[in-house]
Amino acid sequence: MSNVVSQVVYRPARRHPDRPAVITRTGEVFSYAQAAEAVGQLAWHLRTQGIRPGQVVGVSMSGHSLHLLTLLALAQVGAVSLPLHPAAPAERRLLAARTFGATCVVSESRDLALAGLTFIGLDRSEFRSDGPSDRDVHPTSPDDPMHIMVSSGTSGDPKAMVWTHGNVARRNQTFEPGGDSLKRVLQMDLNFFVGFGPALRALAHADALVFPMSPSAEHVLLTLITQKITHAYLSPHQASLLAGLVGANVANACPDLVSLRVVGERLNAQQLQALRRRLTPNVYVAYGAVEAGVATLATPDMLERHPETVGAPSAWAEVQVIDAAGAPVPAGTVGEIRIRSTQQVSGYHLDEARTQARFRDGWFHPNDRGHVDAEGLLYIEGRVDDMINVGGAMVDAEDVERTLCAHPAVREAGAFVHARADGQAFLSAALVLADAGRLAEVQAYAQAKLGPLAPVHYVLASALPRTATGKIQRRLLAAAFPPTRADAASPRRPAV
């Protein structure tokens, strides 16, 4: 029997019944024995509501402990969970449900019900220590689907991948930095790979999962400190918000952190320096994809020597940089990155065309560009599809953003294209500045560093549009920051 629930719930409950498994956002502690009982009760409830093996079930929940236990209960009964993020518009949730075959929606809130789908409500008060429970774990094979993971969609339409029980079991066999001591893990949003994957792995190793009171930076920082978190997962944006709350005069605010893993996007040197000084020196930078798992990991020692690297390949992954003909290139040469991993999914769910484009000859192509140095460390240069055509010149949007963010006054930067009244494109940048009075200084800096590739138009913003995992939604910038009529008529490069 390969059902993941046996690995992450019932086996730890037998071996370590009194160990803390889940610490809820209100501070309530569930031991592994209690967590197993809660999963059994939820499984009983779901079965009585008609959930059957193989059924696709939409889950609209907000990333707290009941959300996790519900996902485990669905796996126990052999159902396939499909995340329908509660922050997404109803139309988008309904489209995902219909596209991927969900027949019902599970949630605590009836406000998240969808037209035409059965709604199954969850009321915490119904799940008591003496309530009915079902420990029957549906037998599965390694190839049986467990979860449909949907990407955040920053590089186009959202993509869906099926995690099988075998795929999840393989990912759970990997270990986190920090030795064999018991871990207290703070993960990201369970609706995404960067949250659900680490949560399952922590349970498989009988560690404790800790949920903050809310996803706000203030509550996350409070949880890191008061709950003595040893392992945390954050996006660069989230981590930078926390470092900003701590302030420049505080050092090592989270002394219990053995591993602060930054995922989703690259850190720039300024962000990395602030995190290492203010939060913890134990910063790790991971690079990978939902499709292939964590492909590389940069350790604190690597980042000390090479702040821009995303590290060396993981033990279960092979990473190559190739040219247009598909041949590996020498160290230092920029090319397209491809990944081959034992944690790799087989393709995109119900999307053969996209599968053939991105999964080729056993390799996954994440559409990233980069290079490998003489030590075998990987560096990301940008995305293949982030090259912007501006008047015939190909501009790397991520390189522009990275250059702007290197200025100490710039907190966030997003590069995008505007069009003049005559249709001619020009490069713009949206900036979040620590001091708006330094805009001219930033413009001069960009001109000196980027020359003719520097933006010709700048807008100031309080925040940039981001996904739930913290990635800049670059394709929304032009609509979010439209040019003035004068800008569109004749944009000019700032005088410097």
Q: Which residues contact 427 (CB under 8 A, 6 or more apart)?
A: 388, 390, 395, 400, 415, 416, 417, 418, 453, 454, 455, 456, 457
Q: Which residues contact 356 (CB under 8 A, 6 or more apart)?
A: none
User: Residue 176: which of 232, 223, 225, 220 has the closest Cα?
Assistant: 232
Tokens of 56: 């696709």
* Contact call for residues 200 and 172 (beta carbons, < 8 A): yes
Least confident of 1-10, 237-246, 332-341: 1-10
Cβ burial, residue 189 (10 Å; 0-12/13-18/19+)? buried
CA 371 to CA 296: how far, in whole Å? 13
* Contact call for residues 102 and 112 (beta carbons, < 8 A): no
pLDDT at 5 over 70: yes
Instruction: Give, in order, the Cα–Cα distances in Å from 496 to each of 29, 171, 296, 443.
Output: 59, 52, 41, 7
Question: Which residue in this structure is represented by tokens 């549009």?
Answer: 465
Q: Give the pLDDT confidence score for residue 387 in this predicted structure.
A: 72
The pTM (predicted TM-score) of the whole model is 0.82
Q: Give the pLDDT confidence score for residue 253 in this predicted structure.
A: 96
pLDDT tens readout for residues 162-173:
999 999 998 888
pLDDT tens readout for residues 368-387:
999 999 999 999 988 787 67
The per-residue pLDDT of the chain, averaged, comes to 89
Three-state SS at 106: strand
Instruction: Give, in order, the Cα–Cα distances in Å from 42 to each of 14, 215, 488.
Output: 19, 25, 57
Query: Domain limits of the chain?
Result: 4-378, 391-489
Q: Give the pLDDT confidence score for residue 431 in this predicted structure.
A: 96
CATH 3.30.300.30, domain 391-489, yes or no: yes
pLDDT at 67 over 60: yes
pLDDT at 118 over 80: yes
For 414-426, what is the mean pLDDT?
77
Q: Which residues are registered as beta bridge partners of 399? A: none
Helical (H) or strand (E) element with 80: strand 80-83
CA 346 to CA 339: how far, in whole Å? 13
pLDDT tens readout for residues 71-95:
999 999 999 999 999 988 898 899 8
Least confident of 34-38, 193-197, 358-362, 437-441: 193-197
For 133-158, what is the mean pLDDT?
80
Backbone dihedral angles phi then psi of residue 427, each to the nearest 5 degrees: -85, 130
Identity of residue 336? E
Residue 100, number of CB atoms within 10 A of its CB: 18
* 252 CA to centre of own chain: 25
Which stretches of 181-234 are assigned E, i.e. beta strand?
Answer: 184-186, 208-210, 231-234
pLDDT at 393 over 80: no
pLDDT classification of 396: cutoffs 50, 70, 90: confident
Q: Give the pLDDT confidence score for residue 154 in this predicted structure.
A: 44
The CATH label, of 3.30.450.20, 3.30.420.40, 3.40.50.12780, 3.40.190.10, for the domain at 4-378 is: 3.40.50.12780
Region class of 252: left (phi > 0), else alpha (psi between -120 and 50), else beta: left
pLDDT at 336 over 90: yes
pLDDT classification of 320: cutoffs 50, 70, 90: very high
Identity of residue 281? P
CA 389 to CA 72: how far, in whole Å? 46
